[in-house]
Structures are given as C-alpha cells and as structure tokens.
C-alpha cells in the first residue's frame, strides 16, 4: 500500500537529521584541527630535548585525551562536557606548565606545540559547553598562555599572536557551528515539507486505488442488481456480495493492505469467477503464463475484471472471451522468433504477458465515444502504474477487443 511504502522509506533513509549531520561535520573538522596540532607536537618533541622523558609523557597524555574526547564524540554523536573539561584542564592548562617545570622547556619554540593544543581545545569549548562554562574555560586557556609565555621570555608579538589565535579559533568554530545548525534546521524543515507532500500524495493514490476497486466490484454488483437482470438470491451472487462486504469491512478498518495478490493465473481466474457470478459466460484460455511480480498480477486481474464488467454492462451479449499468454516465449504474441536450434532468442530480461478480452457485441466508433471512468482508471491506469499498457480496438458491428500487455 502507498502509506506503507512511505513508512518503509522513513525507516530506510537512516541518514540522520540536519542537526545530526552538522554535529558530525563539526566533530570531524575539529578532529582534523587537533590532528594538525598533534603533528606539530610530534615533530617538536622529536627535535627538542630528547633527553627529557617528560616531553614524551606530555605528548602521550595529549594523544590519550584527544582519543578519549573525539572517540566518545564520534560514538555518541556529540562532545561529552566532562571530556571537554578534562582536555582543557590537562592538555590546555597543565601540560604547558608541566613542560616548563619538569620537561626542561626554557625556549618559546619548545613550548609552542603545547600552546597550539590550547587553540584546538578552545574551538571545542565554544560549541560544546554552556556559555558561562565556555567563557570560564577560555579565561583559563588565555591565563595559561600569558603565564607560560612569560616564563620562557616570549616577546609581546609572540604572546599576542598566540592569544589571538586561541580566541580566533573559538570565535570561528562558534560561527561555523551557528551556520551549520541554521542550515541543518532549514534542511530538516524542507525534508519535513517534502515528506508531508509525499504522504499526502500517497494517501490520495491509496484513496484512488480504493475508489477504483469499489467501482470494479461493489458498484458493478449493485448496478447489475439494480438492473434486475439476475436473481439476487442466487448462491453465486450471494457469495460475491459476501466477498465484497468483507472487502468493504477491511477498507473501513484500514486493513485493506492485507489483501493477498495471488500469482497471475490464479488472479485472472479469480477475476473471471467474480464476473461469472453475475451471469456473464467467460471462455478463458491460458498458455505458458510467466512468473510476474505480485503487483503486476493484481493489475492484470483488476484490469481484466473491469473489461469483463464492461462486456456485461455495454456489449449486449452474455459471452466474453479471455486469453492470457506469455510474451517472449514460444507461442508468445510479441513476434519473438526461435533460433535455428529451436531455443528461444535472447529476451533481454524477464518474460512478459499479454491478456486479451474480446466480445462479439455491436462495438462502437472510438472517435465518437469518450472512454468512461472505468476504462480510463481501472484499465489504462492500472496497467500504466506497473509499467504496462492497455489498448482498445473496436468498430461498429465488430465487437470490442481489449489488450493488456506487460511490459508496455
């Protein structure tokens, strides 16, 4: 059913909301930023003070906290404030001072890599912590920069540049986050509108499907009974009425999607039996019917039923002929020839089928008669929906021939 397809689509599109996408992107961006700073740290430790193990321990601590912070963020979808604070206090504040106290760092270049980590920490702080906590963490990072660079005798230019970098990282990350959230909300709203429109369209299509089914079954039965041409108490008429009452009951209870669509031969036979219960004799012949999808079998059966109903209502004859054959195999009606060794040619895909409904009534002039609702929707429309087509051939005095073909 159409509504069920919408539900399946909702479950299948597990791509997350716009906000979730924005969060994932920002986590990845700040991770790359931190990775660039850690790379500088590895190179710096390898070149300066290799005889001081405290620098290697400091670098290991920074790597460990980075793995904890970003690993948890990638797993949970966003930063854990506890991990952010641990990164700020250890990596951003304690590490530079520990390197000065125990790592033998007395020069600005040797301390610079640790200060760089404060810049990537400030970016996460600006988006992951509440405003007051974020301002407090930034103040701690700025204070660490001022103290650390003062201890190693850095110039004011170096100090000003690093503080500016720290604050700029926080501001730019916050701006990016604001923009991404805004775009995420717009995307979610657009998706919600599109889904609502698709749901509305699906509901309309489902109503149309039910209307066509009612036209082909219940309305056809009531029209025949009202015309008085059959005995309403006949067992076959009562059986048909009972089946259609059960269908109406399912429709009212919103369980019409439980209707079973049998394979093609059984589906056509069910349609023929349904019309024969209204005292129309049908001569049916089936030849090498292929396996088709359930929706195609249902379309063939429903379209054939409506064509037979039209025979009973309009042809002025009590006899119709239905033929169903496979298309593309021996005896098929698509013109496919057999190869020299007697095998079928390359069909290029699954076999199709052709169903014809013929009557020997008075016929009509197609140029003067406008097709009715049943012919347009229940015959042409049903076949078109499954990739097939229906053609109607008639002339005055020549009867009517309806051909249903799939694929079209």
Q: Is 262 exposed, middle or buried (0-12, 13-18, 19+ CB in 10 A)?
A: middle
Using CB atoms within 10 A of its CB, is residue 196 exposed (0-12), middle (13-18) or buried (19+)? exposed
Q: Does residue 394 form part of some domain?
A: yes
Please indicate, yes or no, whether residues 46 and 158 belong to a single structural domain of this protein: yes
Task: Decide if 233 is inside a domain.
Answer: no
DSSP string, 323-341: EEEEESSTT-SS-PPB-TT
Could you tell me if residue 220 is inside a domain? no
d(CA 270, CA 301): 8
Q: Is residue 185 part of a domain?
A: yes
Is 79 within a domain?
yes
Helix (H) or strand (E) holding 21: helix 18-47
Same domain, 307 and 177: no
Q: Is the bond into 407 cis (omega within 30 degrees of 0)?
A: yes
Residue at 320 is within a domain:
yes
SS3 190: helix
| 171, 189, 207 - which closes a domain | 189
Number of domain units in the chain: 2
Same domain, 154 and 290: no
CATH number for the domain harbouring residue 282: 3.30.565.10
Query: Is residue 84 classed as helix, strand or coil in its secondary structure?
Result: helix
Would you state the pLDDT for residue 252? 59
Residues 143 and 269 reside in one and the same domain: no
Q: Is residue 18 part of a domain?
A: yes
* pLDDT, tens digit only, all 408 positions of the chain: 444 444 444 444 444 578 888 899 999 999 999 999 999 988 888 876 556 788 888 889 999 999 999 999 999 999 999 999 999 999 999 999 988 888 777 888 778 888 889 889 999 999 999 999 999 999 999 999 899 888 888 888 888 888 898 999 999 999 999 999 888 888 888 877 887 777 777 666 666 666 666 666 666 777 776 677 676 677 777 777 766 666 666 565 544 444 444 588 888 888 888 888 777 888 888 888 888 888 899 899 989 998 898 888 887 888 899 999 987 643 344 434 333 343 444 444 447 899 999 998 888 877 776 666 557 777 888 898 889 999 988 888 888 999 999 987
Determine how many CB atoms are found less than 10 A away from the CB of residue 252.
Answer: 9
Instruction: Out of 172, 189, 206, pick the residue that ends a domain.
Output: 189
Domain boundary among 137, 160, 189: 189
Cα gap 108→154, rounded to integer Å: 6
Q: What pLDDT score does 253 carry?
A: 52
* Per-residue pLDDT at 340: 35
- Which range of residues forms the domain containing residue 89? 2-189
Same domain membership, residue 268 and residue 179: no
d(CA 164, CA 174): 15
Q: Is residue 101 part of a domain?
A: yes
Q: Where are the alpha helices (DSSP H) in 77-155?
A: 81-86, 95-102, 108-128, 131-151
279: left (phi over 0), alpha (psi -120 to 50) or beta: left
């Amino acid at each position: 059913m159409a509504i069920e397809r919408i539900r399946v689509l909702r479950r299948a599109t597990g791509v997350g909301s716009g906000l979730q996408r924005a969060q994932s992107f920002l986590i990845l961006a700040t991770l790359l930023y931190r990775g660039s700073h850690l790379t500088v740290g590895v190179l710096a430790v390898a070149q300066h003070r290799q005889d001081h193990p405290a620098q290697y321990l400091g670098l290991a601590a920074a790597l460990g906290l980075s793995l904890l912070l970003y690993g948890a963020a990638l797993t949970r979808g966003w930063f854990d404030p506890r991990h952010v604070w641990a990164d700020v206090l250890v990596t951003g504040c304690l590490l530079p001072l520990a390197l000065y106290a125990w790592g033998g760092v007395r020069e600005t270049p040797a301390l610079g890599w640790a200060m760089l980590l404060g810049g990537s920490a400030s970016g996460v702080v600006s988006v992951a912590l509440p405003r007051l906590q974020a301002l407090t963490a930034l103040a701690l990072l700025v204070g660490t920069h001022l103290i650390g660079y003062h201890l190693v005798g850095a110039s004011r230019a170096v100090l000003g540049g690093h503080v500016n970098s720290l604050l700029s990282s926080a501001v730019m990350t916050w701006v990016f986050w604001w923009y991404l959230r805004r775009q995420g909300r717009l995307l979610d709203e657009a998706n919600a509108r599109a889904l609502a429109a698709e749901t509305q369209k699906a509901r309309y299509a489902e109503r149309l499907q039910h209307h066509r089914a009612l036209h082909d079954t219940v309305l056809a039965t009531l029209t025949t009974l009202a015309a008085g041409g059959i005995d309403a108490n006949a067992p076959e008429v009562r059986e048909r009425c009972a089946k259609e009452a059960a269908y109406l009951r399912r429709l009212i209870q919103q369980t019409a999607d439980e209707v079973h669509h049998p394979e093609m031969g059984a589906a056509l036979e069910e349609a023929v039996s349904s019309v024969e219960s209204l005292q129309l004799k049908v001569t049916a012949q089936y030849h090498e019917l292929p396996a088709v999808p359930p929706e195609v079998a249902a379309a063939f059966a429903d379209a054939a039923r409506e064509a037979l109903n039209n025979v009973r209502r309009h042809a002025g004859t009590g006899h119709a002929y239905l033929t169903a054959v496979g298309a593309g195999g021996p005896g098929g009606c698509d013109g496919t020839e057999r190869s020299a060794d007697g095998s079928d040619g390359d069909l290029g895909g699954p076999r199709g089928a052709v169903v014809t409904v013929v009557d020997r009534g008075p016929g009509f002039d197609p140029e003067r008669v406008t097709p009715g609702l049943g012919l347009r929707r229940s015959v042409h429309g049903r076949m078109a929906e499954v990739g097939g087509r229906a053609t109607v051939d008639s002339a005055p005095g020549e009867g009517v021939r309806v051909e249903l073909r799939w694929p079209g």
